[in-house]
Structure formats: structure tokens, C-alpha cells
Structure 1
Amino acid sequence: MSHIVVIGAGQAGSSLVAKLRKDGFDGEITLIGAENHLPYQRPPLSKAYLLGEMELERLFLRPESFYVENNITLRLGSAVTAIDTEAQTVTLEDEVIGYDQLALTTGSDPRRLPGAIGGDLAGVFVVRGLGDVDAMAPHVTTGKRALIVGGGYIGLEAAAVCAKRGVDVTLVEMGDRILQRVAATETSDYFRTLHGEHGVTILEGTGLERLEGDAGQVTGAVLSDGSRVDVDFVVVGVGITPGTQLAELAGLELDNGIKTDAQGRTSDPSIWSAGDCASFPYKGGRIRLESVPNAIDQAEVVAQNMMGAGKDYVATPWFWSDQYDVKLQIAGLNTGFDNVVTRAGEGRTTSFWYYKGDELVAVDAMNDPRAYMVGKRLIDMGKTADKSVVADPAADLKPLLKA
């Protein structure tokens, strides 16, 4: 009987094994995860879960009974130490498991501060896994002082949650502006204002020189401008790196992640990859997408291809971020944009439309689901949007879909 082994029990891994069973795969399936918990969703960790608005059980993607009923063997709390591509086996700490096909859904790892600048002090956290958030939660209380390192979406979301819990928040971004690598100036300005209204101090063009501590506990931070900030804890949000360690040890090709073809197959024909860790062909180039929608969609296509479908994965990128009472929805990729059109709304409602010349490439929509929906559909269909219509808040966007 054919045996499919999946390493990485996150969103992609869980989606992959569920799709295999849904589409009729009747062989053995083993899902291996390093954490002791059932596969769970990560986005609520730093928001609803940290705020105490979501219980642990609601984080789980599927109940344990799902895996039992679908004859999926879960190996949780198990670290894979090696892959032997010739013998087609994976080595765990206490056993060797054979496979006919293998999928790597090993996700990504947060970048951490080096110990040389105090990154190993107690009270310094990243936001990635359940253990990270559980360790941080007791510190996120009224009157505490937090330093957020990094002005990307992870850092801003952490700042929003801390501020809502009454924490005195300072955020440092070494770039010229927050969101510099992922958004236009207009979006940066929007969220800088939003956070300022909630009492968050944002210092742009400012890096972290070093952390200071007392008895191993962080107590302060010296910034690149020479100033010092007293802190009770630190949240590091300076990006992630793809989980490629096992793939590299196995001799698979890497290219900003585990290199796959359009169907999700790696340089070894028996090994596949999906999710944050996988880089794949996209519009003549190669990308790696760090998002829940991509993890699900790509994993499901890989599952079909492991069963012989021969189907290319065609990504339709979209993302979201929740900060305070603002829901940001992003459609498309803004790579290469050269002009932005603003569609103003009432209150916090607005959207920014990214163009490369006259080609619509992405939309950032804040509390504007209609703009997001229309923009995403246009991008997915390869259509653009008349800039004069977009810029007119009184104009109906839906006719753009029929243009």
C-alpha cells in the first residue's frame, strides 16, 4: 500500500492530508509535527488568542476525531532529523519511517535577535507559535512597557494588541518608514496615524543598538540614535526565514525556499513542497508566499498532483491584517508598481490601488470589503481599472468587472 508522509503539521500540512482523503487516496498517511498540539491556525495567536477572546480548542484546524476517522496517523511532538532520499525514509528521534511520496510543509521560522545584543534575555519574544504567545501573554497587561522591534505587519499587529491591553508601546523601525518593504507610502501613513491615535510611539529610521538586562531579565533598550527606553518586555517582528533545513540536508535544490516546479514537485521526483517554505514559478519569475490562503490552495493542488492530477498551481495572492477596529485586505502583489490611486471613504474606510503604468497590480483596502472584492476579481481576471472611476468615491466599482 502506498504511504504518503507529510512533514510539518501546520496549515499547509493539515490541508494537504485532508485533501488527499477527500479526493479518495486510500493509502497510508502520516502527518509529522514538531509541536505537541493538533494542527492549529496561527493568525489569531497574536490577536484574538492573545487578547483572551479565543480559547485554545478554537485554534485547532480540525478536531482530533477528524484524523482518527480519516485514518491519518498523527506524529506530534516529533522532530525529523534526517531524510534519506535513496532509501526513501525519514528519521525521527526514535524510529525510521519509510515513504513512497513525501511532502515538506515545514513552514517558516521567525528571525530572532542575536545574543550579542541581548536577544537571549528573558522577556524577549517572537510571535510565531503557540508556545511563543503563551510565554508572552502574562506580560501583556496594563501598565507594562513594551518595545516592538520591526514595523512590518507582524510588529504592527503586536503593537495593536499590546496597546489594546493597556501596555505602553514603543515601536522601532530601522527603515525610513513602517511597511516600507510591503506597502506604498499611503498605506504606511494610514497605519502610522492609526497607531498614533492609540498611543503607540513609532520611531522610524531608528534601529536597536542593544538590549539591557538585570539578572537575565530585559529592562531597557539602547536605540541607534543613542536614546534609551525602559521596557518590561520586547516583541521581535523582523521577518521570517523559510524552513529549509531538512530539505538542504536531503540535498534538495533551494531558491529562496524549497525550489519546486509549477506542480509543487521538488528536485527529487518523490518529494513535494507547499506553504511558506516553498518557492514556485510565478509570471515568468519565482516567488514564495507567506500567507494562509497560499498554504491552503497550494497544499491542495500538491495533494491532487501526488495522486497524479498533473495540475499547475496558479497563485492568486491575497492577505489580511487586523489592527484595532481596522481590517486590511490586500489583493495581488504590488511588486513593480509606479503609481497609486486613492479611493477615499468615510471614517477609516479607504483603499489604495497600485498600478504599473495603467495595469492594476494590487489593492490595499481598509474597512472596504467592496473595493477589495472588486480589485481582487479584476486582478485575478487580468483586467485593469479605470483610474478616474477608482478615484471617485461616488462611482460604483462593480461595472469595472464588465468593462
Structure 2
Amino acid sequence: MNAPPPARIAVVGASAAGLGVVEGLRREGYAGGLTLIGDEPHLPYDRPPLSKQLLTGEWGSDRLGLRGAAAIEALGLDLRLGTKAVALDTRSREVRLDRGGAVGYDALVVATGAAPRWLAGTRGVAGVHVLRTLEDALGFRAELRPGVRLVVVGAGFLGAEAAAVARGAGAEVTMVTDAALPLGDVLGPVLGGMLAGVHVEHGVRIVSGTRAGTVLADHGRATGVRLTDGRVLDADAVLVAVGAVPNVGWLAGSGVPLGDGVECDATLYAGSGVWAAGDVANWPHPRTGSRIRIEHRTNAAEQGIAVARNILAGPGRAVPFDPVPYVWSDQYGLRLQIYGRTRGTDTVRIVEGAPEDRKLVALYADGGRVRGVVGVNMPRATRGYRALVAETAALDERSVA
């Protein structure tokens, strides 16, 4: 016989993952008390457009909402926006809040996401930006105008997308990366070289193989970036896009296992009635056994739904979360799509199209097994190879379409 569902469930993080949890619970028929706590004042909104449609000005902030106010109200939540969780007591099962008081729970979901890394000493310096929240994006967008000298520190998805948008706005863009190529660790030398070529064609200066050391400022305003090799890049604005750290500081001393995020089991359960979903969740992937933490929008939504089902099933009946990770990126009219994992693979095989055409599908394998697929401007064909990733199929001639 199944145990009764928890009478009170609290979700910390009004994010895509947090929304996935509360919607999933109600969809599965959960009628108990449901609290959603978010430190931003906004209803849950979509973050990928912050570096794409919102940054270009194509969208206004009113288009970012994941659900309208009426749909959120229909969920029957105790909604606590603009409220930050500051501590967790797993013995009394209470989340303590920055405004005083606490929220009790029988099951808790941590969906607090991740926070952007800053370069040392740059917080509060005018002209230095990160890109995580709506306010971050609006502040950075205000800098983008013809002729402004922008240094983008970091050439991952976020940095590369922001560089493309800034060039479209007429900014003079320099992108700094300690890697040989933008997204080189994800795409490898061939596709990474193709993407670097596209950026250069659009006027981006790429400074590779070095790091940003310090941001130079005059009267509290950024004037440049000194690299670790001693060179100085003049700048009117700086975007720091060097990764993120999971928001777990408020869990210190709670007994929840922490490392690179909340360390869960394969079902996303961390013990003591605590679950995790989204960027903050660190779990052993069932297919590899290796712990991973994924900072992508699709994963956040899927994990939220999975956690909702597993809470209602109970830890003894919960099922492992076994996704095929998916991420996409838009740069200069190119749509890059990635299924699975490409980092650390030893073989890349282009099975359709060609880099010079900027249309292709490539399989990424390790030990002769397909681990990932990357597509450029071939969405339907790319999706067709997803099954090979899900099966970790052998990379052989049958893999070639």
C-alpha cells in the first residue's frame, strides 16, 4: 500500500524547475498545502531569452513569463515572492526566511538554481555586468549601442550569445577565453573552429588562451580589462560570463549533503524529506554512474516534473531520473542543438552536411559509443539521432545516414 502523500510541500525557487514541481504536483492530483518561495519579485519567467530575444530588444520583459497570473493563481499556492530562504532546519522541517518567520514542510524541494561568478573586486563597479536575472539583462542591454567597447569575459554559451547580440547592436566586441576556441570544450576543434570563424566574420575579436585578471576602473566605472598575460583591453563595458555556482549557501549546517550542488541519489532525493531540481541538483546519471549537474532550461523543467512524481510515489517507489540532456544556442542566425554530452569524448564524426555550409549533424563518441549529437541549422535531422544517444549506440557505419 502506498504511503499517504506529504501534507505540506514547500518549494524554494520560483524558477522553471520550481514551477515544474508545483504544476506537476497539481496535475498528478495533489491537493495538500503547497508553498512556492522565490527571492525575485517576479512570477516564474524564462531565462534563455535573457541572452537572446530580450537582449536584442525583440521581446519586452512582459513576454518572459512562463505562466500568466491567472494560471499561477489557479494552482492554489501559498506564493512568497521577493522572499529569500536563509536557512533550513531539517529536524523541525522548517525553511527560515529573510523577512522573519519560517515555512514548515513535510517534503521540501530545493530549486534555487545557480548564481553567476564575478571576477574578484568587480561587484558594484559601473559597467561590469553578469547575466542571470531580468534586471541583469535590462541593465546590460542599456550598454549596447553603436561604438561601445565591450569585453566579454568567457566564451561559453552565454558569452558567445551575448557577443553575437552586442555585435548586432553595433558594439565593438572582444571575447576573452582561456580555451583555444569559443565553446571548444563542448564542440571540439572542427565545430569550435567553425563557430569562431562565424564570430570573426561578424567583427568579434577573439583573444584566446588567456584569462581576465582584473577589471580596471576610473571613478568607479570600468575602463578596461588587464589579462593574466599583461595585456590591457580598453572597455566601456564588461560582461563576466565565466560560469555559475549552485545556490546552496543557505543550506549550510542543515545536514543536506552538499558538494557541487545538492547531492541527491538517482531519484533526486537528498534525504530528510529534501529533494532537488534544476541547476542546483547534483545526481548520479543512471547510464554513466557519474555525478552531473546540468545548467540548462530543458533539464530544469524535466527535473521539476520528475521530482513531483517521485514525491508522490515516495522515496521507496521513486524512479531514477535518466534524461538525454538537451541545450540549444542561437548565434548569428545559426541554431546549434546538442543532445547528450559532448565534453570528454574521443571521436567526432560528421554524418550529415559540412562545416563550410554551416549546416551539419555530428556524432560525439567515447569508447566507440555515441554520447552526444550536435546539429547546426538541421533541427529535424539532429532530432533523428537522439535515439542513438539514448541507447549509447555503437558508433559504426550504421550511424551514418
In the superposition, the TM-score normalised over structure 1's length comes to 0.92
Question: CA offset at residue 50 of structure 1?
Answer: 1.1
- 1:362 pairs, out of 372, 376, 380, with 372
2:279 matched residue in structure 1: 276
2:116 matched residue in structure 1: 110
1:320 matched residue in structure 2: 328
2:47 matched residue in structure 1: 42
Question: CA offset at residue 385 of structure 1?
Answer: 4.8
Higher relative contact order (CA 8 A, sep 6+): 2
2:3 matched residue in structure 1: none
1:70 matched residue in structure 2: 75
Partner letter of residue 271 of structure 1? Answer: V
Q: Deviations over 1:79-104 (max 9, x none)?
A: 11111111111111222211111110
Question: CA offset at residue 363 of structure 1?
Answer: 1.2
Question: CA offset at residue 122 of structure 1?
Answer: 0.8
Which deviates more from structure 2 when the two are superposed, residues 344-353 or residues 183-192?
344-353
Which deviates more from structure 2 when the two are superposed, residues 322-331 or residues 310-319?
310-319
- 1:381 pairs, out of 380, 383, 391, with 391
- 2:309 pairs, out of 284, 288, 304, with 304
Relative to structure 1, is the Cα distance of residues 54 and 361 closer, same or farther in structure 2, using a 3 angstrom cutoff?
A: same
CA contact (8 A) 1:67 1:74 kept: no
- 2:243 pairs, out of 239, 243, 249, with 239
CA contact (8 A) 1:209 1:224 kept: yes
Measured in 1, the distance between the counterparts of 2:380 and 2:396 equals 16
Question: CA offset at residue 311 of structure 1?
Answer: 2.1
CA contact (8 A) 1:186 1:352 kept: no
Secondary structure in 1 matching 2:318: coil
Q: Deviations over 1:210-248 (max 9, x none)?
A: 222221011122223333222110001101111121233
Cα RMSD of the aligned pairs, angstroms, is: 1.7
Partner letter of residue 169 of structure 1? Answer: V
Relative to structure 1, is the Cα distance of residues 203 and 102 closer, same or farther in structure 2, using a 3 angstrom cutoff?
A: same
Q: Deviations over 1:48-82 (max 9, x none)?
A: 00111112121011111112112112110001111
Question: CA offset at residue 293 of structure 1?
Answer: 1.4
Question: CA offset at residue 387 of structure 1?
Answer: 4.2
Q: Deviations over 1:269-328 (max 9, x none)?
A: x11111110111112221111111111111111101111252221121111111110000
Measured in 1, the distance between the counterparts of 2:103 and 2:368 equals 54
Partner letter of residue 323 of structure 2? Answer: A
Point out where structure 2 has 5 or more consecutive residues left out of the alignment: 1-5
Partner letter of residue 112 of structure 2? Answer: T
Measured in 2, the distance between the counterparts of 1:386 and 1:368 equals 22
Q: Deviations over 1:106-129 (max 9, x none)?
A: 1011111100xx454211001111
1:394 matched residue in structure 2: none
Measured in 2, the distance between the counterparts of 1:231 and 1:65 equals 44
Does 1:330 find its partner at 2:338? yes
Relative to structure 1, is the Cα distance of residues 233 and 335 closer, same or farther in structure 2, using a 3 angstrom cutoff?
A: closer
CA contact (8 A) 1:337 1:356 kept: yes
Secondary structure in 2 matching 1:181: helix
- 2:348 pairs, out of 340, 355, 360, with 340
Partner letter of residue 341 of structure 1? Answer: R
Relative to structure 1, is the Cα distance of residues 352 and 310 closer, same or farther in structure 2, using a 3 angstrom cutoff?
A: same
Measured in 1, the distance between the counterparts of 2:329 and 2:344 equals 22
CA contact (8 A) 2:370 2:394 kept: yes
Secondary structure in 1 matching 2:191: helix
Secondary structure in 2 matching 1:50: helix
2:209 matched residue in structure 1: 205
Number of equivalenced pairs: 388
Measured in 1, the distance between the counterparts of 2:252 and 2:330 equals 35
Question: What is the 5 A alignment of 1:156-175?
Answer: 156-175=160-179
Relative to structure 1, is the Cα distance of residues 335 and 169 closer, same or farther in structure 2, using a 3 angstrom cutoff?
A: closer
CA contact (8 A) 2:13 2:38 kept: yes
Question: CA offset at residue 388 of structure 1?
Answer: 7.5
Secondary structure in 2 matching 1:40: coil
Measured in 2, the distance between the counterparts of 1:119 and 1:221 equals 15
Does 1:12 find its partner at 2:22? no
Relative to structure 1, is the Cα distance of residues 389 and 5 closer, same or farther in structure 2, using a 3 angstrom cutoff?
A: closer
In the superposition, the TM-score normalised over structure 2's length comes to 0.93
